[in-house]
Amino acid sequence: MFRSIAVTVTITSMAIPLMGPAELCAATVRGTVLLRDSFDGPDDTTDLTGQPHDVHLNSDLSARQAGSLLGAVPYRLDVGGGNSPQYRNPYLSSNRLVMKGGSLNHSLNRSQIIAPNHDFVDPAITTARGFVIEFTVNPTSGNTSTDWFAVSLGHTQSSVANAASYHPEVTDPVADFGILFRGNGGFSTFGDGTFNGGGGSYASGHGAADFFDIRVEVETASFAPGETVTLRTFVNNQQLDMGPDPGNELTFLWDGDGSNYISLESRREPSLFDNLAISTIPEPSTFILLTVGAVGLLARSYRQRRKRFRRAMIIRPFLAWRTK
């Protein structure tokens, strides 16, 4: 006499997150790191006015910097032409870089700027046909403020080194590209000091304590005047729509100076910067290998889970029959 067995099967779907090539590249792939700064260092002390100085920003660089560049890379400081710069120098606090423009009461419409004192036109960049700028930032002003932080590139040595005459701002006429991010979630782009476009959004509903991972990818074969540049920007691994060019990209030409100094900037309200990294774009073969490896791991995980599921389908009815 055969005993009937009732078998109930429950199948749980295995959701595997999928990313496009751009998002996968932004999330997993990095080329040769030229400069990395963790900003991990002693907190800066204060003067008699209670305002921090940049005592440690250009100290202990070898302890917190890494990368293929020989020696430590100090920063040039610029306060955007404002008064009393000693009150508003960028400084280190809680292992982060603090930048805030404006005067003691932040009422002036001024910027704070730092720029690594290095011209990023290295042979490693042209060999890799591009470079990447990455950092983490907290624009503490909250999601309704129009104050902003920015990153810009293509500055000249004069604009970085001679703060009395030039200011390596996002709107600097010699800067080939700049993008500013407002506290309210909007962003705007500039080229050679000219407003390129705005109205886009990089965030919404964020709080004053939220940090954002910023990544700017720049593809170029050289820094020669007239060379084509293709640029992409990511926030938290999501690519921004940079304008009319296809693929959310922005295309422009290098101007005639052939320099590529890079600057970070904060306007009025404090911004907390961390983990600055400037690296080469990875070679296509590296991206392909990592992509294939990631697909292989996903496939292996799927096969293992499927095998466990099939084994359970065989064993569970048998055990249910034995217990009756």
For residue range 80-106, list pLDDT tens digits in order. Answer: 544 444 445 788 999 999 987 654 444
Of the pLDDT bands very low, low, confident and very high (cuts 50, 70, 90), residue 18 is: very low
For residue range 57-69, list pLDDT tens digits in order. Answer: 898 899 999 999 9
Taking Cα atoms as reference points, which of 34, 29, 27 lies closest to residue 287? 29
Of the pLDDT bands very low, low, confident and very high (cuts 50, 70, 90), residue 107 is: very low
Count other C-beta atoms under 10 Å from residue 77's C-beta. Answer: 19
Task: Kindly state the tokens that stand for 211.
Answer: 């940090």
Q: Is 1 helix (H, G, I), strand (E, B) or coil?
A: coil
- Map out the domains of the chain as residue ranges: 21-282, 285-324
Taking Cα atoms as reference points, which of 130, 58, 166 lies closest to residue 283? 130
- If you average pLDDT over each of 6-15, 129-138, 254-263, 294-303, which comes out highest? 129-138
Q: Which of the following CATH numbers is that of domain 21-282: 3.20.20.70, 1.10.150.250, 2.60.120.560, 1.10.10.10?
A: 2.60.120.560
Global pTM? Answer: 0.77
Question: What is the number of alpha carbons within 13 Å of residue 232 lying toward its C-beta?
Answer: 19
Whether residue 280 is predicted with pLDDT greater than 90 in this model: the reply is yes
Q: Give the pLDDT confidence score for residue 197 in this predicted structure.
A: 77
